[in-house]
Structure 1
């Protein structure tokens, strides 16, 4: 809703949105203030208490309240490095995040605070369940940060490692965010790539006169790998993209060595054992068995799919008079191209035509409408004077970080009580220096201030969809519709959560569950009725776009009738049939990431990880698991690309946790097929899911939320059935 459509009860949020007016200097000053404030709280807790007087109320509560208030500013401080157009501000954000991380390490290794928290735990006073969980997590956090290591050289070394790991993570992600490489091609080189993509590329001057520059940003990269007719061009793009951040190679190697050393100092056999004990899987054996079983089940299907695609490649090269170039191999840079060709030929699905029905803005509105219906929410878009009205400064420009950003206030609908829920931001197009993937960022968590007052969350979707042009709006490929739905799923989780402490808010669950709510919502993108409701052919958006659409048609088709306003049923039926096309290969790719992650984090000795070559292992495992060919020849030359140097997940929190993407699908498939498959728009079940699972965040054991929602123990049956493996 916007403007005049908005009922009065949704016009005045009880809390202003955050502001984005920081300068490089102010970011550092605010960070220094937050650190000083937090340190004084910890000092006071120690000064005012001893083992006899220590209680949850005197010790843990003041620190939890400090965590709450600190998060209102600290999340945004770190967010600037992902979205700001100013290099100086991004650099200051990176520096500030390092200061906060260093302080976090110092705090988590304070023996004086640990002793008092330990005393509180031993008293075993009666507490509400969420406070009990907070106390146990606080205590465990100190132990996991080395306070069971005797004071002295070993503990000092552990602290040194923690600080260096923080630096490595920040530097690695900064390299990814700031990456701005590209390749100059002639227009002829890019034969087959959609004109919309080619026309948007930078035009060359001087020595590059007559050429166009292809970047490694998703809206350039993926269409080129999918549509470029020339295998040499696809190969060049693929190999250069894998090597775009090679300065990250030594950082990654250092990180896996340091993680292993730290885990051994704590008494664990390896880093994965340390990371997984607190997750749903609990043990590395559970994870290895799950991944190994899946690999065994998927392997034959993967080989069958490759055989089909290889035959298609041979026929394609023959048809183009290039039969002599066929060498019987299926390369990594072949896959997006022939996967797309297979879908077009065997399933008669043209993804470009489908994208015409999913203009970004109408698709978002449709998605938000679905979430309104299922979860009992209302989204009110804030523009112009409405932004000024909600801004604490009276200036609506202060409450967004870039002019492209859309902002919504989110409310409960009447049935849920018409209460305020929080703020949702959408930042959807690529720009220099911006985070390069699709993700949801919490800007401010929600929490209970006191018995009568709540603090409401603010959350942001940061994506990289193509920009609109004068002749076309931004159009989403179907896989981008799925991505948008997935990330919005994280955003909804973040918004509707209602926890006492910010520590457990929203997506602050264990990593091998956090993806499940978003993965479950992806199913709506394969439901014909939901897709139909989301769709609207872009030519219906304005007379100018209708004329541009007609102009773009081949001469022979210009007399044809206008397209249907919503996606035709026949096209939908064909699209839905492609859901599991080459699914074994897709999941084997995910398995490669998960098994690689586990392998580098489970060496049998520290010496083994020191001798390990992460590049060679990355390429060898991909070849063995996904069965796709790279530049290696006869089992030699495995160091041709450094894919791990672009793999931000393994540095940014998913270390020994990437398996979680597949593992949480077990839960998402079970929830969807057990509860929503018959009627995806069942608002009663949607609200039950909202209150049972999403609202709880990480405030209780995730398994408890699942059991309550399903009414039984979770099962793997739906997961394997979905993959056709049961």
Structure 2
């Protein structure tokens, strides 16, 4: 039970009671209301008397109110078990996107915003930023073009790109492919995974169905001893969503056309202009420098892994000759084997110390101590009491979802902060990766009071079984902490306008706060604090552990220091190859969004470009070395980032690592649990959201300009 003072939040959580028809009706109502606000501004204000309060404030307040519903209307497509509701959510997003495009191209409003900017009234910094951003957005949305065919074509492109984005992500969410294998073909894959696979009937009698969901895919690529099985899984996964191939091509061609219509040389220049990097040259120089620094390390790592593969193959079948190739489908397998052989790392054993629920509680405790927060899970009758409808089921979208009310501790004033939701297990039709979704932003209401945020983590960890809870591999612990970091950013942000709330920062900074927090998962004291061996959770789990452990002594409750030391020693093992993989994504992104001319992108074979760049940058062999050519797979068709907002921005995962490492080394490395610095970080970085220039936020926190020293030192790449 929650402490009495934390049982009554001042704001009810959102409800998830939409039907397909109500969802569309609500979307149309919201759009109509918003259109009336815009029309009223135009009807009642002239360029001569245009002020921020008369023009931008009413529209910003309308945007705040809209966001309380629109984020959830679009969220159903990622989480609902009802395919009709998912379809309606996609349709709602299309309607909202079309309206956003229409709004962004209203010349009558643009003229008023332009007049406000020209007037030059003194505004508070966040309002000034809103004014400048809004003005720039109108220009970037085609209002710098003369009215007529060019502007009409630009609008047409924007609408089509919105449709492509929605359809592309829907195809990924709905993807439900898989392959049938015998148990022998899946030799080496942990029994935990095999026992959860669908059993075949008829022509598939005696086989198991392996899906491309992460809890099936990754253990198979890591543990299946049969290289042919790994190869089939790898190639099929790259081809699981081929209906997205033409959509991806159409998107990059249309983006290039739109950028050129606006007078930019390419889409990358258009997109990067308002990010921290400012120019493609800055991005390309950074990626090129990192690539040259990583190349030698990648070659060394590859040499070691190739030798390990050769030894392994000879030990299995001495008569088999080694072809000298190290394939894409070898990498997770031999990376894991190297860690086991050279570093005594048993990922399955480590996972036993990280049951999902106790790990989450440990993570929330870290955030409580560091940032001055309190998390109270809302369960049972408390859900009925807190729900506006009186029905506790209405405040979640699925029975597996956990919900927490979040509060400040006494030192931070004991106030309410918002709601945190956790949706942790895979299911049909659900978003397939790990991500944080804002459900309702925070902002200042018209009456001057704060509206509190609600945020959701959507992940795909393995489900618990009768004999074991859901157990996290260490890389899944890092993923969970990273996404929780986004959730905390979303919760503690305090901005006037929803536009700048939480993670609404520029894309080449947004990952930095969460990347910085990943360091806690590599700190001995925090690894120990997060751990609890699952056998200590209940007598049933202890008995289940004994069944497979034989006469081994009962494990310690906390992970042993020796295991922690071994784990930490592996932090940078094969780091060069990992970062070269990230560079492949980043350089591919820049390649398709920075063609020499429009014909280049129209004539580009995207799949060949994707696979040839991967071979060239990552140095791993694909089916192309077996005479298959470079069009054997279509990985770009599964790459939701580049259609969902990270276009000409994937480099941000690497460049924001520069900022995150700088912040950690400078402020937290000496004492990661320093509550004084934790609260300073909360107030200086997280609370600001995107309400001021991100570089200004960084400088204020670091006390200087950021630099790459810590980043290259951490990677062992200092000259």
Q: TM tier, shorter chain?
A: over 0.9
Deviations 1:204-249 (A, max 9, x none): 1111111110000000000000000000000000000000000000
Q: What corresponds to 1:583 in structure 2?
A: 575
Residue 593 in structure 1 maps to residue 589 in structure 2: no
Pick from 523, 530, 539: which aligns with 1:543?
A: 539
Pick from 16, 28, 39: which aligns with 2:12?
A: 16
Residue 692 in structure 1 maps to residue 684 in structure 2: yes
Pick from 233, 248, 265: which aligns with 1:237?
A: 233
Deviations 1:526-556 (A, max 9, x none): 0010000000000011000000000012xxx
- Quote the offset at 1:323 in angstroms: 5.1
Does the 8 Å CA contact 1:9/1:418 hold for their aligned counterparts? no
Count of matched residue pairs: 718
Unaligned runs of 5+ in 1: none
Give SS of 1:423's match: strand
Structure 1 vs Structure 2 CA RMSD = 0.8
Pick from 339, 344, 351: which aligns with 1:343?
A: 339
Q: What corresponds to 1:713 in structure 2?
A: 705
Q: What corresponds to 2:661 in structure 1?
A: 669
Q: What corresponds to 2:636 in structure 1?
A: 644
Q: What corresponds to 1:679 in structure 2?
A: 671
Give SS of 1:662's match: helix
Does the 8 Å CA contact 1:277/1:283 hold for their aligned counterparts? yes
Whole-angstrom distance in 2 between the partners of 1:710 and 1:550: 50
- Quote the offset at 1:8 in angstroms: 2.2
Give SS of 2:421's match: strand
Deviations 1:251-285 (A, max 9, x none): 00000000000000000000000000000000000
Residue 154 in structure 1 maps to residue 146 in structure 2: no
Pick from 398, 401, 406: which aligns with 1:402?
A: 398
Equivalent runs, 1:183-194 vs 2, <5 Å: 183-194=179-190
Whole-angstrom distance in 1 between the partners of 2:385 and 2:603: 60
Whole-angstrom distance in 1 between the partners of 2:540 and 2:269: 59
Pick from 251, 255, 273: which aligns with 2:251?
A: 255
Whole-angstrom distance in 1 between the partners of 2:488 and 2:319: 51
Q: What corresponds to 2:211 in structure 1?
A: 215
Whole-angstrom distance in 2 between the partners of 1:7 and 1:194: 42
Residue 420 in structure 1 maps to residue 416 in structure 2: yes
Does the 8 Å CA contact 1:356/1:475 hold for their aligned counterparts? yes
Deviations 1:95-122 (A, max 9, x none): 0100000000000000011011100110
Whole-angstrom distance in 1 between the partners of 2:603 and 2:330: 33
Deviations 1:363-403 (A, max 9, x none): 00000000000000000000001111111111110000000
Whole-angstrom distance in 1 between the partners of 2:216 and 2:510: 30
Equivalent runs, 1:498-509 vs 2, <5 Å: 498-509=494-505
Give SS of 2:323's match: coil
Give SS of 2:624's match: coil
Q: What corresponds to 2:460 in structure 1?
A: 464
Residue 264 in structure 1 maps to residue 260 in structure 2: yes
- Quote the offset at 1:452 in angstroms: 4.0
CA distance 1:234–1:294, shift in 2 (3 Å): same
The alignment's TM-score, normalised by the length of structure 1, stands at 0.98
Residue 602 in structure 1 maps to residue 594 in structure 2: yes
- Quote the offset at 1:634 in angstroms: 7.5
Does the 8 Å CA contact 1:374/1:681 hold for their aligned counterparts? yes
Give SS of 2:620's match: coil
Q: What corresponds to 1:327 in structure 2?
A: 323
Pick from 64, 71, 76: which aligns with 2:67?
A: 71
Does the 8 Å CA contact 2:61/2:446 hold for their aligned counterparts? no
- Quote the offset at 1:451 in angstroms: 5.8
Q: What corresponds to 2:83 in structure 1?
A: 87
Equivalent runs, 1:440-455 vs 2, <5 Å: 440-450=436-446, 452-455=448-451
Whole-angstrom distance in 2 between the partners of 1:326 and 1:359: 40
Residue 615 in structure 1 maps to residue 607 in structure 2: yes
- Quote the offset at 1:11 in angstroms: 1.2
Pick from 609, 618, 625: which aligns with 1:626?
A: 618
Deviations 1:53-98 (A, max 9, x none): 1100000000000000000000000000000000000000000100
Pick from 713, 716, 719: which aligns with 1:724?
A: 716
- Quote the offset at 1:433 in angstroms: 0.2
Deviations 1:145-168 (A, max 9, x none): 000000000000000000000000
Does the 8 Å CA contact 2:358/2:532 hold for their aligned counterparts? yes
- Quote the offset at 1:7 in angstroms: 2.6
Residue 302 in structure 1 maps to residue 298 in structure 2: yes
Q: Which moved more, 1:142-151 or 1:635-644?
A: 635-644
Whole-angstrom distance in 1 between the partners of 2:202 and 2:188: 26
Whole-angstrom distance in 1 between the partners of 2:306 and 2:57: 62
Q: What corresponds to 1:290 in structure 2?
A: 286
Residue 564 in structure 1 maps to residue 556 in structure 2: yes
Give SS of 2:455's match: strand
Deviations 1:101-144 (A, max 9, x none): 00000000000110111001100001000000000011011000
Whole-angstrom distance in 2 between the partners of 1:635 and 1:44: 65
Give SS of 2:324's match: coil
Deviations 1:654-674 (A, max 9, x none): 000000000000000000000
- Quote the offset at 1:512 in angstroms: 0.1
Deviations 1:13-57 (A, max 9, x none): 000000000000000000000100010000000000111111000
Whole-angstrom distance in 2 between the partners of 1:323 and 1:712: 62
Give SS of 2:53's match: coil
Q: What corresponds to 1:433 in structure 2?
A: 429
Q: What corresponds to 2:484 in structure 1?
A: 488
Deviations 1:620-641 (A, max 9, x none): 0000000001111378710000
- Quote the offset at 1:322 in angstroms: 5.0
Does the 8 Å CA contact 1:314/1:323 hold for their aligned counterparts? no
Q: What corresponds to 2:121 in structure 1?
A: 125
Does the 8 Å CA contact 1:27/1:96 hold for their aligned counterparts? yes
Give SS of 2:256's match: helix
Does the 8 Å CA contact 2:377/2:405 hold for their aligned counterparts? yes
